Amino acid sequence: MIDSCDLSQPLDEVEALIRSAGEYVHASDDLRPRVLENARLQCRERRLRRRFWQSAAVVLFCGLFTSSLIHRAESAMEAQSHTAAWASPMLAPVEVAARSSDPSWQMVESFTQLRLRQAHLLRL
Amino acid sequence: MAAPTSLNSPGEFAERVRESTDRLMAVGVDALGLLFDLTSNRLVRFATALTRHQHDAEDAVQTALVRLAGEPQLLANVQCPWAYLLRMVRNEALALARRKQRCSTSSNLGDLVTRCRVDEAEREESNRAVWSALRTLPPQQAEVVVLKIWEELTFAQIGEILEISPNTAASRYQYGMTKLASRLANMQREVRP
Protein backbone atom coordinates (compact mmCIF):
# COMPACT_ATOMS: atom_id res chain seq x y z
CA MET A 1 0.00 0.00 0.00
CA ILE A 2 1.27 3.43 -0.90
CA ASP A 3 0.40 5.96 1.72
CA SER A 4 2.94 8.63 1.03
CA CYS A 5 4.01 9.67 -2.41
CA ASP A 6 7.53 10.41 -3.42
CA LEU A 7 6.67 13.84 -4.70
CA SER A 8 9.26 16.41 -5.52
CA GLN A 9 9.59 19.73 -3.77
CA PRO A 10 7.44 21.76 -6.26
CA LEU A 11 4.55 19.35 -5.61
CA ASP A 12 4.80 20.09 -1.89
CA GLU A 13 4.39 23.75 -2.72
CA VAL A 14 1.39 22.97 -4.91
CA GLU A 15 -0.04 20.89 -2.09
CA ALA A 16 0.33 23.85 0.29
CA LEU A 17 -1.26 26.17 -2.28
CA ILE A 18 -4.22 23.83 -2.70
CA ARG A 19 -4.57 23.41 1.07
CA SER A 20 -4.78 27.16 1.51
CA ALA A 21 -7.60 27.34 -1.05
CA GLY A 22 -9.67 24.79 0.89
CA GLU A 23 -11.90 27.31 2.55
CA TYR A 24 -12.35 29.52 -0.47
CA VAL A 25 -15.57 27.86 -1.58
CA HIS A 26 -18.47 27.43 0.82
CA ALA A 27 -22.13 26.48 0.73
CA SER A 28 -24.54 29.19 -0.37
CA ASP A 29 -26.73 30.82 2.27
CA ASP A 30 -29.97 29.34 0.98
CA LEU A 31 -28.73 25.74 1.11
CA ARG A 32 -29.38 25.27 4.83
CA PRO A 33 -33.06 26.33 4.81
CA ARG A 34 -33.56 24.40 1.57
CA VAL A 35 -32.16 21.18 3.03
CA LEU A 36 -34.01 21.48 6.34
CA GLU A 37 -37.32 22.34 4.69
CA ASN A 38 -37.06 19.47 2.23
CA ALA A 39 -36.08 17.04 4.96
CA ARG A 40 -39.05 18.08 7.12
CA LEU A 41 -41.40 17.88 4.14
CA GLN A 42 -40.15 14.44 3.24
CA CYS A 43 -40.48 13.23 6.83
CA ARG A 44 -44.05 14.55 7.01
CA GLU A 45 -44.91 12.84 3.71
CA ARG A 46 -43.36 9.62 4.93
CA ARG A 47 -45.34 9.80 8.18
CA LEU A 48 -48.59 10.49 6.28
CA ARG A 49 -47.92 7.59 3.91
CA ARG A 50 -47.21 5.30 6.84
CA ARG A 51 -50.45 6.40 8.56
CA PHE A 52 -52.40 5.84 5.34
CA TRP A 53 -51.12 2.29 4.99
CA GLN A 54 -51.73 1.62 8.68
CA SER A 55 -55.33 2.84 8.32
CA ALA A 56 -55.76 0.78 5.16
CA ALA A 57 -54.50 -2.30 7.00
CA VAL A 58 -56.90 -1.66 9.92
CA VAL A 59 -59.86 -1.18 7.52
CA LEU A 60 -58.93 -4.35 5.66
CA PHE A 61 -58.64 -6.29 8.89
CA CYS A 62 -61.99 -4.97 10.13
CA GLY A 63 -63.62 -5.84 6.79
CA LEU A 64 -62.27 -9.37 6.89
CA PHE A 65 -63.27 -9.80 10.53
CA THR A 66 -66.82 -8.50 9.90
CA SER A 67 -67.31 -10.66 6.83
CA SER A 68 -66.13 -13.73 8.71
CA LEU A 69 -68.53 -12.88 11.56
CA ILE A 70 -71.42 -12.48 9.10
CA HIS A 71 -70.52 -15.75 7.41
CA ARG A 72 -70.36 -17.53 10.76
CA ALA A 73 -73.71 -16.07 11.85
CA GLU A 74 -75.30 -17.10 8.56
CA SER A 75 -74.06 -20.66 8.82
CA ALA A 76 -75.25 -20.86 12.44
CA MET A 77 -78.72 -19.64 11.40
CA GLU A 78 -78.73 -22.13 8.54
CA ALA A 79 -77.89 -24.98 10.90
CA GLN A 80 -80.56 -23.81 13.33
CA SER A 81 -83.24 -23.67 10.68
CA HIS A 82 -82.18 -27.12 9.44
CA THR A 83 -82.61 -28.56 12.95
CA ALA A 84 -85.91 -26.75 13.38
CA ALA A 85 -87.19 -28.20 10.14
CA TRP A 86 -86.44 -31.71 11.38
CA ALA A 87 -87.96 -30.97 14.77
CA SER A 88 -91.30 -29.77 13.39
CA PRO A 89 -91.93 -31.68 10.19
CA MET A 90 -95.45 -30.28 9.93
CA LEU A 91 -94.18 -26.75 9.43
CA ALA A 92 -91.72 -27.11 6.63
CA PRO A 93 -91.45 -30.60 5.26
CA VAL A 94 -91.29 -29.53 1.67
CA GLU A 95 -88.39 -27.08 2.18
CA VAL A 96 -86.28 -29.71 3.88
CA ALA A 97 -86.82 -32.04 0.99
CA ALA A 98 -86.13 -29.32 -1.48
CA ARG A 99 -82.81 -28.44 0.20
CA SER A 100 -81.34 -31.81 -0.62
CA SER A 101 -79.96 -31.75 -4.10
CA ASP A 102 -79.91 -35.52 -4.61
CA PRO A 103 -83.32 -36.68 -6.06
CA SER A 104 -83.20 -40.08 -4.35
CA TRP A 105 -82.58 -38.46 -0.98
CA GLN A 106 -85.36 -36.00 -1.71
CA MET A 107 -87.67 -38.94 -2.19
CA VAL A 108 -86.52 -40.58 1.04
CA GLU A 109 -87.00 -37.33 2.91
CA SER A 110 -90.46 -36.77 1.43
CA PHE A 111 -91.44 -40.29 2.34
CA THR A 112 -90.18 -39.87 5.86
CA GLN A 113 -92.07 -36.61 6.16
CA LEU A 114 -95.21 -38.29 4.94
CA ARG A 115 -94.85 -41.10 7.49
CA LEU A 116 -94.27 -38.64 10.26
CA ARG A 117 -97.33 -36.67 9.25
CA GLN A 118 -99.47 -39.80 9.17
CA ALA A 119 -98.18 -40.82 12.60
CA HIS A 120 -98.98 -37.39 13.92
CA LEU A 121 -102.54 -37.55 12.51
CA LEU A 122 -103.09 -41.03 13.92
CA ARG A 123 -101.99 -39.84 17.35
CA LEU A 124 -104.67 -37.16 17.19
CA MET B 1 -24.07 29.31 9.63
CA ALA B 2 -21.80 26.46 8.63
CA ALA B 3 -18.69 25.91 10.70
CA PRO B 4 -15.25 26.63 9.26
CA THR B 5 -13.76 23.50 7.81
CA SER B 6 -10.29 23.47 9.34
CA LEU B 7 -11.06 23.59 13.04
CA ASN B 8 -10.57 19.89 13.70
CA SER B 9 -8.09 17.18 12.98
CA PRO B 10 -9.52 14.47 10.68
CA GLY B 11 -10.08 12.06 13.58
CA GLU B 12 -11.72 14.69 15.73
CA PHE B 13 -13.90 15.80 12.87
CA ALA B 14 -14.99 12.23 12.09
CA GLU B 15 -15.87 11.80 15.76
CA ARG B 16 -18.00 14.94 15.72
CA VAL B 17 -19.77 13.70 12.60
CA ARG B 18 -20.46 10.43 14.41
CA GLU B 19 -21.97 12.33 17.34
CA SER B 20 -24.18 14.33 14.97
CA THR B 21 -25.37 11.25 13.13
CA ASP B 22 -26.08 9.49 16.44
CA ARG B 23 -28.15 12.47 17.39
CA LEU B 24 -29.92 12.39 14.04
CA MET B 25 -30.81 8.75 14.65
CA ALA B 26 -32.06 9.50 18.15
CA VAL B 27 -33.91 12.78 17.59
CA GLY B 28 -34.78 12.62 13.90
CA VAL B 29 -35.00 15.43 11.38
CA ASP B 30 -34.72 18.16 14.03
CA ALA B 31 -31.05 17.24 14.50
CA LEU B 32 -30.23 17.64 10.82
CA GLY B 33 -29.21 21.29 11.25
CA LEU B 34 -26.31 20.26 13.45
CA LEU B 35 -25.00 17.80 10.90
CA PHE B 36 -25.48 20.35 8.14
CA ASP B 37 -23.51 23.03 9.99
CA LEU B 38 -20.70 20.61 10.59
CA THR B 39 -20.36 19.08 7.14
CA SER B 40 -21.98 21.26 4.47
CA ASN B 41 -18.92 23.28 3.42
CA ARG B 42 -16.73 20.20 3.11
CA LEU B 43 -19.40 18.27 1.25
CA VAL B 44 -20.08 21.14 -1.12
CA ARG B 45 -16.42 21.64 -2.03
CA PHE B 46 -15.98 17.90 -2.55
CA ALA B 47 -19.07 17.71 -4.76
CA THR B 48 -18.05 20.88 -6.62
CA ALA B 49 -14.75 19.26 -7.55
CA LEU B 50 -16.75 16.35 -8.97
CA THR B 51 -19.60 18.15 -10.75
CA ARG B 52 -17.58 21.27 -11.63
CA HIS B 53 -20.62 23.33 -10.87
CA GLN B 54 -21.57 24.53 -7.42
CA HIS B 55 -25.34 24.48 -8.05
CA ASP B 56 -25.17 20.83 -9.01
CA ALA B 57 -22.90 20.15 -6.05
CA GLU B 58 -25.39 21.73 -3.67
CA ASP B 59 -28.21 19.72 -5.23
CA ALA B 60 -26.18 16.56 -4.62
CA VAL B 61 -25.49 17.54 -1.01
CA GLN B 62 -29.15 18.39 -0.48
CA THR B 63 -30.33 15.06 -1.92
CA ALA B 64 -27.89 13.10 0.22
CA LEU B 65 -28.72 14.93 3.46
CA VAL B 66 -32.48 14.79 2.89
CA ARG B 67 -32.23 11.08 2.21
CA LEU B 68 -30.18 10.65 5.35
CA ALA B 69 -32.75 12.57 7.40
CA GLY B 70 -35.47 10.25 6.15
CA GLU B 71 -33.46 7.08 6.66
CA PRO B 72 -31.00 7.70 9.52
CA GLN B 73 -30.82 3.94 10.07
CA LEU B 74 -28.55 3.87 6.98
CA LEU B 75 -25.78 4.88 9.37
CA ALA B 76 -26.68 2.38 12.08
CA ASN B 77 -24.02 -0.19 11.24
CA VAL B 78 -21.52 2.10 9.57
CA GLN B 79 -18.02 2.17 10.97
CA CYS B 80 -17.24 5.71 9.80
CA PRO B 81 -20.29 7.91 9.16
CA TRP B 82 -18.17 10.68 7.63
CA ALA B 83 -16.77 8.33 4.97
CA TYR B 84 -20.28 7.03 4.33
CA LEU B 85 -21.61 10.57 3.96
CA LEU B 86 -18.83 11.43 1.50
CA ARG B 87 -19.69 8.34 -0.51
CA MET B 88 -23.39 9.24 -0.53
CA VAL B 89 -22.64 12.74 -1.80
CA ARG B 90 -20.23 11.37 -4.38
CA ASN B 91 -22.87 8.97 -5.72
CA GLU B 92 -25.43 11.76 -5.93
CA ALA B 93 -22.93 14.12 -7.58
CA LEU B 94 -21.95 11.55 -10.19
CA ALA B 95 -25.58 10.69 -10.91
CA LEU B 96 -26.38 14.38 -11.30
CA ALA B 97 -23.36 14.99 -13.52
CA ARG B 98 -24.37 12.02 -15.69
CA ARG B 99 -27.93 13.32 -15.98
CA LYS B 100 -26.94 16.88 -16.80
CA GLN B 101 -23.85 16.08 -18.88
CA ARG B 102 -22.14 19.09 -17.38
CA CYS B 103 -18.82 17.39 -16.89
CA SER B 104 -17.20 19.51 -19.59
CA THR B 105 -14.09 21.43 -18.68
CA SER B 106 -14.88 24.93 -17.54
CA SER B 107 -12.48 27.53 -16.25
CA ASN B 108 -15.30 29.94 -15.47
CA LEU B 109 -15.71 30.20 -11.69
CA GLY B 110 -18.84 32.34 -11.83
CA ASP B 111 -20.97 29.68 -10.14
CA LEU B 112 -18.76 29.47 -7.04
CA VAL B 113 -19.91 30.98 -3.76
CA THR B 114 -16.63 32.14 -2.30
CA ARG B 115 -15.48 33.51 0.99
CA CYS B 116 -12.37 35.60 1.32
CA ARG B 117 -11.54 37.37 4.56
CA VAL B 118 -10.08 40.86 4.39
CA ASP B 119 -6.70 39.67 5.68
CA GLU B 120 -6.65 36.99 2.97
CA ALA B 121 -7.49 39.28 0.06
CA GLU B 122 -4.06 38.81 -1.49
CA ARG B 123 -4.69 35.07 -1.58
CA GLU B 124 -7.84 35.44 -3.69
CA GLU B 125 -5.89 35.21 -6.94
CA SER B 126 -4.10 32.02 -5.98
CA ASN B 127 -7.34 30.50 -4.66
CA ARG B 128 -9.05 31.17 -7.95
CA ALA B 129 -6.08 29.73 -9.81
CA VAL B 130 -6.27 26.55 -7.71
CA TRP B 131 -10.01 26.12 -8.33
CA SER B 132 -9.59 26.82 -12.06
CA ALA B 133 -6.80 24.26 -12.28
CA LEU B 134 -8.81 21.75 -10.26
CA ARG B 135 -11.66 22.03 -12.72
CA THR B 136 -9.42 21.01 -15.56
CA LEU B 137 -8.63 17.68 -13.90
CA PRO B 138 -10.62 14.53 -14.67
CA PRO B 139 -13.14 14.04 -11.82
CA GLN B 140 -11.43 10.78 -10.78
CA GLN B 141 -8.21 12.66 -10.08
CA ALA B 142 -9.89 15.75 -8.66
CA GLU B 143 -11.81 13.75 -6.06
CA VAL B 144 -8.65 12.02 -4.84
CA VAL B 145 -6.82 15.36 -4.56
CA VAL B 146 -9.72 16.87 -2.61
CA LEU B 147 -10.00 13.92 -0.24
CA LYS B 148 -6.24 13.74 0.29
CA ILE B 149 -5.47 17.42 0.78
CA TRP B 150 -8.66 18.95 2.15
CA GLU B 151 -10.10 15.99 4.01
CA GLU B 152 -6.64 14.72 5.05
CA LEU B 153 -7.61 11.10 4.48
CA THR B 154 -5.13 8.31 3.89
CA PHE B 155 -5.05 6.50 0.55
CA ALA B 156 -6.55 3.47 2.27
CA GLN B 157 -9.52 5.56 3.45
CA ILE B 158 -9.84 7.22 0.05
CA GLY B 159 -9.78 3.81 -1.60
CA GLU B 160 -12.59 2.68 0.68
CA ILE B 161 -14.77 5.67 -0.14
CA LEU B 162 -14.15 5.53 -3.89
CA GLU B 163 -14.14 1.72 -4.01
CA ILE B 164 -10.69 1.54 -5.55
CA SER B 165 -7.43 0.13 -4.26
CA PRO B 166 -5.12 2.39 -2.20
CA ASN B 167 -2.49 2.07 -4.96
CA THR B 168 -4.94 3.31 -7.58
CA ALA B 169 -5.87 6.21 -5.31
CA ALA B 170 -2.18 7.05 -4.85
CA SER B 171 -1.43 6.94 -8.55
CA ARG B 172 -4.48 9.09 -9.38
CA TYR B 173 -3.27 11.56 -6.77
CA GLN B 174 0.20 11.65 -8.27
CA TYR B 175 -1.12 12.18 -11.79
CA GLY B 176 -3.53 14.82 -10.58
CA MET B 177 -0.88 16.71 -8.62
CA THR B 178 1.54 16.67 -11.53
CA LYS B 179 -1.12 18.13 -13.82
CA LEU B 180 -2.11 20.72 -11.23
CA ALA B 181 1.52 21.76 -10.75
CA SER B 182 2.04 22.30 -14.46
CA ARG B 183 -1.28 24.14 -14.90
CA LEU B 184 -0.65 26.40 -11.94
CA ALA B 185 2.83 27.14 -13.27
CA ASN B 186 1.34 28.01 -16.68
CA MET B 187 -1.21 30.29 -15.04
CA GLN B 188 1.55 32.01 -13.07
CA ARG B 189 3.52 32.53 -16.30
CA GLU B 190 0.42 34.00 -17.99
CA VAL B 191 -0.13 36.42 -15.12
CA ARG B 192 3.56 37.48 -14.89
CA PRO B 193 5.09 37.21 -18.36
Does residue A2 surpass a pLDDT of 50? no
Task: Give the list of residues 6+ apart from residue B80 with CB closer than 8 angstroms, or none.
Answer: B14, B18, B157
Query: Which of A5, A23, A34 lies nearest to residue B4, judging by beta carbons?
Result: A23
* pLDDT (tens digit per residue) in B87-131: 999 999 999 888 876 545 455 676 777 776 666 666 778 888 899
Dmax over CA atoms of chain A, in Å, equals: 129
| Residue B28 burial by Cβ neighbours in a 10 Å radius (0-12, 13-18, 19+) | middle
Predicted confidence at residue B193, as pLDDT, reads 55
Distances (CA, A) of B120 to B42, B56, B124, B125, B126: 20, 27, 7, 10, 11
Model pLDDT, residue B1 = 46
**What interface predicted TM-score (ipTM) does this complex get?**
0.79
Selecting from B116, B130, B178 the residue whose C-beta is nearest the C-beta of A18 gives B130
pLDDT tops 80 at residue B162: yes
The more confidently predicted of residues A45 and B6 is A45
Using the predicted structure, report yes or no on whether residue B8 has a pLDDT greater than 90: no
Q: Is the pLDDT of residue B53 over 90?
A: no
Rounded to two decimals, the pTM is: 0.71
| pLDDT at position B10 over 90 | no
Q: Write the CA distances from B66 to A41, B70, B115, integer angstroms.
A: 10, 6, 25
Q: How confident is the model at residue A46 (pLDDT cuts 50, 70, 90)?
A: confident
- The answer to whether the Cβ–Cβ distance between A22 and B33 falls below 8 Å is no
Q: pLDDT-based confidence at B39, cuts 50/70/90?
A: very high
Name the band, by pLDDT with cuts 50, 70 and 90, for residue A96. low
- Look at residues B13, B18, B20 and name the one whose alpha carbon lies nearest to residue B34: B20
pLDDT in tens, A14-27: 889 899 888 888 89
Q: Which residues of B touch A16 (CB under 8 A)?
A: none
Q: Which of A15, A27, A39 sits opposite B40 (nearest CB)?
A: A27
Residue A23 contacts B where some CB pair is shorter than 8 Å: yes
Give the pLDDT of residue A6. 45
Tell me which of A6, A17, A18 to substitute to probe the interface with B (most B C-beta atoms closer than 10 Å): A18
Other CB atoms within a 10 A radius of the CB of residue B57 amount to 29
Question: What is the average pLDDT value for chain B, to the nearest integer?
Answer: 85
Closest CA to B112 of B50, B39, B183, B44: B44
* pLDDT at residue A1, rounded to an integer: 36
Give the separation between CA B108 and CA A118, rounded to whole angstroms.
Answer: 112
Helix (H) or strand (E) holding B89, with range, is helix B81-100
What is the rounded (10 degree) CA torsion for A36, A42, A47, A53? 180
pLDDT score for A88 = 55
Q: Pick from B5, B66, B89, B131 the residue to mutate for testing the A interface (most A CBs within 10 Å).
A: B66
Identify the closest residue of chain A to B24 by CA–CA distance: A39
